[in-house]
Chains A and B, each alone.
Chain A
Amino acid sequence: MGLQAILNAHSREADAPTSLVVTFPTDQPLHMDAGGVLAPLTVAYQTYGTLDAARSNAILVCHALTGDQHLANIHPVTGKPGWWSAMVGPGKPIDTDRFFVICSNVVGGCLGTTGPASLNPATGRAYGLDLPMVTIRDMVRAQAMLVDHLGIDQLFCVAGGSMGGMQVLQWAALFPTRVFAAMPIATAARHSSQNIAFHEVGRQAIMADPEWRRGRYLDEGSRPEKGLSVARMAAHITYLSDQALHAKFGRKLQDRVAPTFSFDADFQIESYLRYQGRSFVERFDANSYLYMTRAMDYFDLAADYGGSLASAFKDSRTRFCVASFTSDWLFPTTASRALVHALNAGGASVSFVEIETDKGHDAFLLDLPELIATSRGFIDAAARARGLA
């Protein structure tokens, strides 16, 4: 895709998304944690399945850093299947024949919900860095506005992995009575120092690109493709495991029989990462990447509850299913275990599985039999308890 085509596809999705959209007027502002308000606020979302008469079968799925609302349909920009097609669909654990599934683009995103690439009504230009800093809690509050708008009081389940898992935890802490069941997967109740460090590398790559133009690249018809691409390359490494990289690429050379003794992409892994970086810039806005990584960095649920994570879930009636993956070093099992301890200490109902896989952090997106079986068992049991059998 050429630059102009990318810009066009982007501005289309940022301001006129291929999605359902609700715009909350200025008298219903979103109050941001960092101060200030977003008004009007637009939320772009997808739904699947049918809401039952009692409005009791809704499942909200929260997307990860580079995800979006296109969870189980063909993506309008990439033409690829939705990011959680393994988990969501007819007969899948999140069964669209039984449940009403909602997924919205987060605040700060770039697929139609108000974010840095959206038009700022005050200036007639893209928000850029004029958008207030976004937190995970802001994302969740905006989702709650959408859920209210859909006339749903209690969500049967809130599910998501990684940054989506953070939103799940924030939902359960902020709106305990509105979440019957929660599935935080491959996530943590706070972002670790190592994770903040990786994000900072990505942000610096973007901001070091002269085309970033202090965040005003959209006004100037430009894009920091190189910087965003490098950010994605670095991040992508953290989503995979050493074993998986070794098994898939090893030291194999790319379309050549001998090293060229140059800085070409001699190794398959280099070629793969460059491809990942290139294809990412086609569908993602660099400023959105800055905002969303920052939201994750600031996430520390215990800090909002006097330093005690257990207090965040005190007297919670929500049923939790926490899952982690053995080879995930970005959101390791220790983080999930700390969460489980806190949930136990708060007296919450919690299941916890660690799933053996070499697929690293990205395992939560994949069709892993154990993840599917765990999710199905948990959701089915919760549905019975909720009288949704």
Chain B
Amino acid sequence: MGAGTALNELPGTPRGNARQDLLLVADLVDHNSRVLDLGCGDGALLRLLADTRGVDARGLELSQRGVNDCVAKGLSVIQGDADTDLADYPDDAFDYVILSQTLQATRNPRTVLEQMLRIGRRAIVSFPNFAHWTIRLEIALRGRMPVNETMPFAWYETPNIHFCTISDFLLLVGRIDAKLERAIVLDRVGAPMRNGTPAWVWNIWGEQAVFMLRR
């Protein structure tokens, strides 16, 4: 997926150190499982999963450059589009299907999520919360679309066409009859918020969310 790549390719984004959400996502994955990473970019998460958890890791990536980089590194990655190509995979092909920082760049987030839950026993989705208080302030006080570290593009050039809030996402989870199995919400300094925090609090104070879903 384009957005994953775009984020990874931003100047100044550290490539050597795994992004924090990648570490969190990797932590949710069982050892020696089968994983498909949608929008795998330069393959940082795949590498992390293969190296630290013995995972059979596959990737799908929209940008040909990202794919070629991955394959040259020995990763099992194909060029493709999560919006259209997931239909080709059989049911239950993977233990986990991961969509890291890419949901907001898909054309049909709902369909993508449904497909993820069809081809994987678990779906792991991470995304920036568009209702974080800093964004609310930006819109309320400055009247401008936010541009910050997690949302680095101006409105006219962003690949992120479907931003959502944590509350929006949880509504969609209910609507497609998926079960929320794990939730990790990070505050502004990247610390996980306490389990049992009400969702409306997440929705104000949480900057990043990582959710694991099942059918």
Residues of A within 8 A of B (CB): 319, 321-322, 340-341, 344-347, 349-356, 370, 373-374, 376-378, 380-382, 384
Contact = CB atoms under 8 A, between A and B. Distances in A.
Nearest to B85: A341
B90 A351 contact: no
Given A321-B71, A341-B85, A374-B72, A351 B77 contact: yes
Contact of A374 (B56, B68, B90): B68
B68 A355 contact: yes
A378 B77 CA distance: 10
B74 A344 contact: no
Contacts of A353: 64, 67-68, 71, 79
Contacts of A356: 64
B200 interface: no
A351 B72 CA distance: 10
B121 to A, nearest CB: 14
Contact of A345 (B70, B72, B74, B89): B89
Contact of A349 (B58, B64, B85): B58
Given A352-B77, A373-B72, A378-B71, 12 more contacts: A340-B78, A341-B88, A344-B78, A350-B58, A351-B67, A352-B71, A353-B64, A376-B72, A377-B72, A377-B75, A378-B74, A381-B75
Contacts of A380: 74
Given A353-B71, A355-B68, A345 B90 contact: yes
A352 B72 contact: no
Nearest to B50: A381
10 interchain residue pairs of minimum CB distance: A381-B74, A377-B72, A352-B78, A373-B72, A341-B88, A351-B71, A377-B74, A374-B71, A353-B68, A344-B88
B88 A352 contact: no
Given A341-B85, A344-B88, A378-B71, A351 B64 contact: no
Nearest to A370: B68
B23 interface: no
Interface in B82-116: 85, 88-90, 93
B67 A352 contact: yes
Interface residues of B, number: 21
Contacts of B80: 340, 352
Interface of B: 56, 58, 64, 67-68, 70-80, 85, 88-90, 93
Contacts of B74: 377-378, 380-382, 384
Nearest to B68: A353
A365 to B, nearest CB: 19
Contacts of A373: 68, 72
A353 B93 CA distance: 22
Query: Which of A319, A346, A347 has most chain B Cβ within 10 Å?
Result: A347
Nearest to B58: A349
Contacts of B73: 377, 381
Nearest to B36: A344
A354 B72 contact: no
Query: Which of B56, B64, B74, B93 has most chain A Cβ within 10 Å?
Result: B74
A10 B58 CA distance: 48
B177 to A, nearest CB: 25
B89 A344 contact: yes
Contact of A351 (B76, B85, B88): B76
Contacts of B77: 351-352
A374 to B, nearest CB: 5
Nearest to B64: A354
A349 B59 CA distance: 10
Contacts of A381: 73-75
Contacts of B79: 352-354
A376 B56 CA distance: 20
A350 B72 contact: no
